[in-house]
Structure 1
Amino acid sequence: MEPWDYTLLGLAVVIFGIWCFSFFLHILSIIYGKWRLHRKVPAVLPDILPGVSILKPIVGVDPNLFENLETFFNMKYPSYELLFCIQDESDAAIMVVQSLINKYPKVDAKLFLGGKKVGVNPKINNMVTGYDAAKFETVLISDSRIKMAEDTLLDMVLTMTEKVGIVHQMPYACTRKGFPSHLEKVYFGTQHAKMYLVSDCLGINCCTGMSCLIRKDVLEKAGGLRQFGQYLAEDYFLSQAFINRGWKVCISSQTARQNCGTYSMTDLHNRLLRWIQLRTSMVPTLILLEPISQCLIIGSLASWASAFLFDSSPLVFFLIHLLAWFLLDYILISIIEHGDLPFSKFDFVVGWLLNEVSYIFLILRSHFNSKIVWRNRTFRLRWGGIIEELHSKQNV
């Protein structure tokens, strides 16, 4: 064999090995998801459960805002307080929050207006005053689009054992009308779920701040909430601070049910683009690793490698690869959904194909733009996840 042939042989072996490893991770996510996401709350509960301060940062009025917030007033948990944080004192969300406080006078709920500028992260700035007023040592940060089940807080608290410093929920989505809602479920129930479950199983930092339970005393030793105001992805750096101090970070058995009232394919893609930009700025190795983890890319590469190594048909190999990947994704989302999907198999096929194709273009787009748009505010992203705001939306 010529030297070039040895090079191609080595490349083919590496690619085929990566392909095999990808399917191993896929199967691992299914096994771990079945074990982790199907646990039940134990029949015998501890005599004493810690009180929880729940921070709810809110910006604007979403069509489902009242419905989402009301679920927090009806949780079955002995001791908690609700700390609603709204930065803009003219925000219409104030009336929604106040109406719920009046409707449930027995629930310990407070409203904080104005926030405090401690960095460039608007979410941190919004939450600081509520965080400072929290009376319990266990704090739950929960976005306004999250819809809570009655026993979700109990499940998260019970997951926080002695060595666990943060308990977060794997993002998923509520069932709503229309194909964009189905597409959101397909993404969070397949591609994102696989990455999230495997990362949690292997102890890799994957925490998202949309719903996470935190030990306040540990956070204070890490500099407090203010310390993370310089990052847009404050959840990653906050959880990494816990990991660096020897604490475990893990997911609960219930998913974070996102229930935004306004949703579209464009909104979802813009959101995913922002996440890709943040991930690659914090972990540069993902610039290479994320593309080859995609079904179509690794399938195409493995088809060539298989033809080179085993003289097989690239087309037949690729079609078998697609079918196997598709079936594993369908099994995974069924596990997360705890049964049948709330939409047709045809919708799943279309959503799955659209997601796999569009995500490749989102990865490409992320490498040609260092600007991030979040809630009508524009930031410039620098390596390490540090951001600087370019301009702010003017209130009128």
Structure 2
Amino acid sequence: MHLLLVTLALACGACALVGVAYTLLAAALAGRFFRRPAAEPASFPPVTIVKPLHGNEWALSSNLASFCAQDYPGDVQFLFGVQDPADPALSVLDALCRAHPEADISVIADVRLHGPNRKISNILNMLPHVRHDVLVFADSDVGVEATYLRQVIGELQQPDVGLVTCVYRGAPDPGFWPRLSAMATNYQFLPGVVTGLALGLARPCFGQTIAMRRDTLEKIGGFAPFVHHLAEDHAIGEAVRMLGERVVIPPFAVSHACVETSAAGLVAHELRWSRTIRRVDPRGHLGSMLTYPLAFALLGAAFSGGAPWAWACVAASVAARMVLKVLLDYALRQRVRDLWLLPAWDVVAFAIFVASFFSSRVIWRGFSFNVDGDGLLSPVQDE
């Protein structure tokens, strides 16, 4: 038993040190990513922005308004869609139309359901109303800067580019739990993506932005093939790559509203995300365990009976994570706050990571699904 504990302690200590090295590397790579120059468009083609909506989020009005305030001289059509004629998002859209009478806004309310992925069903209902050949799909919880559209179009005009997507940062609603959710996005997801891109290990595509031409969309069969996918954004990106076209990410982050109002809601959201990644990218998900240096350092301290070297690993892990947070906050041009929350979240996040291996069931918009190895959804009946 003593030998087993020593072995476990040393293994956890080694994982913690590798995690510290990864964390410092991610901090450096994130700064380099956001310092890259943005592409400027050679022309300003007409664009249709497609936004599926579901419910009235706290920041929905400001997020939608940010799309209507773009520094883009070309024509822009806005398509907003809901599946419930009584959706509270419709009142926000009424106010948006009054505030921006100059904007070309269309609202589509269509109850048709084409499969278990309700967002894709919503988009399929909107597509017949698209007028332009350049399309930008963006989730309802996304907020953008005024230069967003011109930078996305600039990237789309680069050689061999078939799709442009964007990384995102967490923008918390008021309250404690949304702040924890933003921590998961800003200091776990975001550095992982940037590091994976720099090392050639990541092939991301995010629903926060998917920009493509109409002919590319038609080549991948439209959106209908993805109506059974949970991670439909990942599947769309892979389909575009299969055409031999590139998926690129510009050097800025859009904001993503973090809306979880309870511990249960936060854990359910993060567990759904973690289980989805495990199913669509099992090796990458397993490798992500090295992004939890503090958890491994604490386990090393426990298994070693509180050996001094183990507590040194704990201190190094906390310091590295703090460095990452400060540098990322600087790169994202946001105020450094809640440093004390980061170690607590790291431990919770590791527990969610471990729990993701014990089931493939996820809860999405109140419905339960199993997710298979291809990321496909199959409804399950809760007992």
Could you state the TM-score of these two structures normalised by the residue count of structure 1? 0.83
- SS of residue in 1 equivalent to 2:211: strand
C-alpha deviation, 1:290, in angstroms: 2.9
Q: Distance in 2 between matches of 1:323 and 1:260?
A: 24
CA distance 1:216–1:21, shift in 2 (3 Å): farther
Q: How far does the alpha carbon of each residue in 1:334-385 deviate from its partner, in whole angstroms, 9 at most, with x for none? A: 23332641x3xxx212x11121111122123223333211112222222221
Q: 1:156 aligns with which of 152, 159, 162?
A: 152
- SS of residue in 1 equivalent to 2:163: strand
1:388 aligns with 2:383: no
CA distance 1:151–1:294, shift in 2 (3 Å): same
Q: Which AA in structure 2 matches 1:35?
A: R
CA distance 1:30–1:246, shift in 2 (3 Å): farther
Q: How far does the alpha carbon of each residue in 1:45-81 deviate from its partner, in whole angstroms, 9 at most, with x for none? A: 5452222211111111223222221222221112211
Q: Once structures 1 and 2 are overlaid, which stretch shifts more, 147-156 or 322-331?
A: 322-331
Q: Distance in 1 between matches of 2:18 and 2:88?
A: 50
C-alpha deviation, 1:195, in angstroms: 0.7
Corresponding residue for residue 55 of structure 2: 60
Corresponding residue for residue 132 of structure 1: 128
Q: 2:69 aligns with which of 68, 74, 83?
A: 74
Q: Distance in 2 between matches of 1:111 and 1:166?
A: 25
1:348 aligns with 2:333: no
- SS of residue in 1 equivalent to 2:358: coil
- SS of residue in 1 equivalent to 2:235: helix
> Structure 1 stretches of 5 or more lacking a match?
none
C-alpha deviation, 1:328, in angstroms: 3.1
C-alpha deviation, 1:23, in angstroms: 4.4
Q: Distance in 1 between matches of 2:92 and 2:381?
A: 29
Q: Distance in 2 between matches of 1:149 and 1:177?
A: 21
Q: How far does the alpha carbon of each residue in 1:291-311 deviate from its partner, in whole angstroms, 9 at most, with x for none? A: 343223443688899x9xxxx
Q: Which AA in structure 2 matches 1:61?
A: N
1:173 aligns with 2:164: no
C-alpha deviation, 1:28, in angstroms: 3.6
> Structure 2 stretches of 5 or more lacking a match?
none
Q: Once structures 1 and 2 are overlaid, which stretch shifts more, 137-146 or 365-374?
A: 365-374
Q: Would you say how many aligned residue pairs link Structure 1 and Structure 2? A: 373
CA distance 1:250–1:303, shift in 2 (3 Å): farther
Q: Which AA in structure 2 matches 1:338?
A: R
Q: Distance in 2 between matches of 1:135 and 1:324?
A: 52
Q: Distance in 2 between matches of 1:190 and 1:37?
A: 15
Q: Distance in 2 between matches of 1:254 and 1:288?
A: 28
Q: How far does the alpha carbon of each residue in 1:79-107 deviate from its partner, in whole angstroms, 9 at most, with x for none? A: 21111011112212223213322432321
Q: Distance in 2 between matches of 1:288 and 1:260?
A: 25
Corresponding residue for residue 323 of structure 2: 328
C-alpha deviation, 1:25, in angstroms: 3.7
CA distance 1:69–1:175, shift in 2 (3 Å): same
Q: Distance in 2 between matches of 1:24 and 1:167?
A: 30
CA distance 1:335–1:250, shift in 2 (3 Å): farther
Corresponding residue for residue 26 of structure 2: 29
Q: How far does the alpha carbon of each residue in 1:144-191 deviate from its partner, in whole angstroms, 9 at most, with x for none? A: 111222111122222222222222221212265433343233222211
Could you state the TM-score of these two structures normalised by the residue count of structure 2? 0.85
Q: Which AA in structure 1 matches 2:265?
A: D
CA distance 1:293–1:100, shift in 2 (3 Å): closer
Q: Which AA in structure 2 matches 1:185?
A: A
Q: Which AA in structure 2 matches 1:378?
A: S
Corresponding residue for residue 145 of structure 1: 141
Q: Once structures 1 and 2 are overlaid, which stretch shifts more, 58-67 or 327-336?
A: 327-336
Contact 2:165/2:248 (<8 A) preserved: yes
Q: Distance in 1 between matches of 2:20 and 2:243?
A: 33
Corresponding residue for residue 233 of structure 1: 231
CA RMSD for the aligned pairs? 3.1
Q: Which AA in structure 1 matches 2:325?
A: Y
Q: 1:209 aligns with which of 207, 222, 239?
A: 207
- SS of residue in 2 equivalent to 1:267: helix
Q: Distance in 2 between matches of 1:255 and 1:367?
A: 30
Q: Which AA in structure 2 matches 1:82?
A: F
Q: Which AA in structure 1 matches 2:60?
A: L
Corresponding residue for residue 255 of structure 2: 257
CA distance 1:191–1:157, shift in 2 (3 Å): same
Q: Distance in 1 between matches of 2:284 and 2:369?
A: 21
Q: Which AA in structure 2 matches 1:141?
A: F
